[in-house]
Amino acid sequence: MSSGPKQLGDLLGGLDPSLAKAFEGLGKSVMADAERQKAASEPAQSGAQESQEGPTRRVAPIQARNQGKALTPASSQANEHHGPTPVLTQQIDLFIATGRAAMPKDELATMEHPVYAIEDGDQRILSYEHNGVTLEVTPSVKGRATIHDKDIVLTCVSKVVAAVNRGEAVSRTVSIKAHDVLTFTNRSTSGRGYELLEQALERLAGTRIKTSIATGKPARRRTKGFGLIDAWETITRGPNNRLEELRITLSEFTFDAAMALEVLSIDQDYFKLRKATEKRLYELARKHCGNQGRWKVGLELLQKKVGSRQPLFKFRAAVRGIGEEGSLPSYHLIFLHADDSVVFYGRGDAGLAAMESDLVSLPKPKAEGSRRKSVRRPAKKEI
């Protein structure tokens, strides 16, 4: 794989034209992406490894600290010979989210399932079932919370997870500067930006969820109803009543997920995506493809996971357009007409290897002129 672009170009040259068109844009950018990925691989890999290993290795010590319990030798060998463990308060009334989270985090459960709407003003009640998980989402009169509204929740979750990783006590009620939310999520800091924040909070608090998704360690399988956030409050300052501080009480569902580190690190460029479908496609790629090379999914199942209510032919066109634009952070997207499926490739060495493997296995077109044509000879005239 030392001469990646050349190999890929050679493979593309032998493909059927319709398949080659689907892959042609990747050959130009994949190696540049691989180089950028390699340059940033060490901090990214350490963050991803921490987020994925956390639930099995670090949850017990963190939860013990936040419940006011001393760590036992079985749960933390680091404190075995260093005297008593400092005991933190069981619960604080308000977690003040100061400083910048090291890396944005997303909740595993809402990455997997279409909890958030991808259309503005969605007033439908969503009923969803997949692999034994049931989900019912009921909007308020203000509409169902959208995936853009979710950015506020992700900001709070990122701050809580960063504090948990530092061993700090946290609370379900998060105090955060409104300006920090806008800058963290790559939004406008104009007056209109602050107005939209308040509207998003209303939708988040008004949208009700009933689900059997389990969060927390140990996982508790239950069907429970709740809001995406439990409560919110805004604090303004100055003669113009400019919004300065938000106080957001996360739902137990979200807070349990954050405390159990049931999260994944996401690319900061996720917040630069302006199309709701793009954001959902990225979430699904991050959840299912991750740092592997490839994830393939049928279009109908993908539409179900995205939560789109478009006719299938319109959703197909939208997905194909996003793939041609190459706008997803960390992933390439290819739509395959042959079996109406979508393939996500990582923008790194693993993705390039998977892409080359797929190209080698694709059928080659028949050589032109290989079929013998019968020539009709004129009948000889009798003399």
Q: Model confidence over 359-375: pLDDT tens digits?
A: 877 666 555 555 555 55
Mean pLDDT rounded to a whole number for the chain: 78
pLDDT digits (tens, 9 = 90+) for 211-242: 877 666 555 556 778 899 999 999 988 777 78
How much is the pLDDT for 358?
A: 86
More confident site: 79 or 258:
258
Token look-up 């109803």 returns 225
For residue 20, how many C-alpha atoms fall within 13 Å in the half-sphere facing its CB? Answer: 12
Adjacency order of strands within the sheet including 208-211? 126-130, 133-138, 208-211, 224-227
pLDDT digits (tens, 9 = 90+) for 156-188: 999 999 999 988 999 999 999 999 999 999 999
How much is the pLDDT for 267?
A: 96
Q: Mean pLDDT: which of 58-67, 79-88, 299-308, 344-353 is highest?
A: 299-308
Average pLDDT, integer, range 71-86: 32
pLDDT digits (tens, 9 = 90+) for 102-152: 689 999 999 999 999 999 989 999 999 988 888 999 999 999 999 999 999
Considering the entire predicted model, what is its pTM?
A: 0.76
Q: Which two tokens stand for residue 178?
A: 């409104």
374: left (phi over 0), alpha (psi -120 to 50) or beta: beta
Cis ω on the peptide bond leading into residue 84 (within 30° of 0)? no
Average pLDDT, integer, range 55-84: 37
| CB 285 within 8 Å of CB 293 | no
| CB 16 within 8 Å of CB 365 | yes
- Dist. CA 354–CA 153, nearest whole Å: 34
Among residues 197, 68, 225, 64, the alpha carbon closest in space to that of 138 is found at 225
Look at 45-59, 66-80, 267-281 and tell me which has the smallest mean pLDDT: 66-80
**% residues pLDDT > 90 (the chain):** 52
281 pLDDT more than 80: yes
How much is the pLDDT for 382?
A: 55
| CB 342 within 8 Å of CB 336 | yes
Token look-up 């508790």 returns 220
Q: Which two tokens stand for residue 199?
A: 């509207």
Single-letter code of the amino acid located at 187: R
Backbone angles phi, psi at 132, to 5 degrees: 85, -5
How much is the pLDDT for 211?
A: 85
How much is the pLDDT for 81?
A: 33
